[in-house]
Amino acid sequence: MRETKKTNWVLTIVLILGTVTVFFPLYMAIIIAFKQPSEMTNDVAGALAFPAKWSLDNFRQAMEVTDFWHSLGNSLLITLTTIVLAVLIHSIAGYVISRGMTRIKGFRFIYLYIVSGMFVPFSILMMPLVKQTAQMGLGNRAGVILLYLVFYMPMNVLLYTGYMKNIPMALEEAADIDGASTWKTFWKIVFPMMMPMHATVAILTALGTWNDVMTPLVIMSGTGQNTLPLAQLNFQTQFGTNYNLAFASYILALIPILVFYIICQKQILNGVANGAVKG
C-alpha cells in the first residue's frame, strides 16, 4: 500500500468548504429571484434569509417580459446549428489540411493562415462585419451562425489537424487500395475515428457560442430577435429596480446550460481537458 492512496481528509474538507465561493452567488441569485420587492432589506440577515414563500410568480412574469421561449429557441437554434456545421466542416478541413500538408505545396501555408486567425480580436472585425453582413443580407441569426463558424475555425482546425496525427495513414491507404474514394474514406473511416475530438470541438464551440453576447449584440440588434444572454441586456430597463424580476430572468437564462452541464458533466470536463492537451 502506497502512502498517497490514503484519503487526505483535511484537504477534502477544505475543498468542500471552498465550494461556498461557487454556491454563494448562485444561492443569492436564487433567493432574490423568489422574493418580492417588499422583502428586500438592507441588513445582512434579511438579505440572506429565505423568501417568505416560494412562489414562481417572478419567473412567470420574467418569462413574459423577456419573451423567454423565443430567446431560448434562438439560442438553441444558433448553438446547435453552429455545433453541427462546425463538426462537419472543421473536421473535413482539418483532415484535408493535415493530409495535404505532406503532399501538396501550399497547404502548410493554408494551415498557418487559418490558425493565425486565432489572434484576430473580434473588435477589429466588428465594425466592418456589421456593415458587411448587413449588405449581404446576413444581419440575422444565419449571419451569427456563419460568423461563429469562421471565428471557431482556427481553434477547431488546430485541434483536428493535431488529432489526425493519431490516425495512422495505413488505414486510408488500405481503403485506397480497395478503391474507395477519398471522400468515402473520410466519412466511412476517418470521421468515426475522430469521435473524441468531435466531442471536444462540440463542447468548446457550444460553451463559447451559448454565452456570447457581443456577436449577436452587434449583428442582430434591432431585428427583434434575442439570444438568451442578449435578452438580459435588452430588458434591463424593463426590470427597472425590480431586482427580483431581473434575477428570476437571470436564473431562467442560467438554467438550460446548468441542466446540460449536470447531464453531460463528465463529457464536458473530458472534452475541455482533451482540447487543452491536444491544443
The interface with other proteins within residues 194-233 (CB under 8 A) comprises 207, 210-211, 213-214, 218, 221-225, 228-229, 232-233
Q: Which of 31, 83, 87, 97 binds other proteins (CB under 8 A)?
A: 97
Determine the longest span between alpha carbons in the chain, in angstroms.
Answer: 77
Q: Which of 29, 30, 46, 32 is nearest to 242 (CA)?
A: 32
- Within 153-182, the residues that bind other proteins by CB under 8 A are 153, 176, 181-182
Q: Which of 1, 16, 112, 195 binds other proteins (CB under 8 A)?
A: 16
Q: How far is CA 103 from the centre of its chain?
A: 35
Q: Which of 38, 119, 178, 195 binds other proteins (CB under 8 A)?
A: 119
Any idea which residue has 414563500 for its cell?
53
Could you count the other beta carbons within 10 Å of the beta carbon of residue 135? Answer: 9
Q: Which of 63, 110, 189, 193 binds other proteins (CB under 8 A)?
A: 110
Q: Which of 123, 178, 192, 195 binds other proteins (CB under 8 A)?
A: 123
Any idea which residue has 491544443 for its cell?
279
Q: How far apart are CA 146 and CA 161, in angstroms?
A: 21
Q: What cell was used for 219?
A: 449583428
Q: CB under 8 A: which stretch of 12-20, 52-60, 160-168, 188-196 binds other proteins?
A: 12-20
CA–CA distances in Å: residue 43 to residues 35, 36, 39 = 15, 16, 11
Q: CB under 8 A: which stretch of 8-16, 55-63, 160-168, 192-200 binds other proteins?
A: 8-16
Confirm or reject binding of residue 15 to other proteins (CB under 8 A): yes
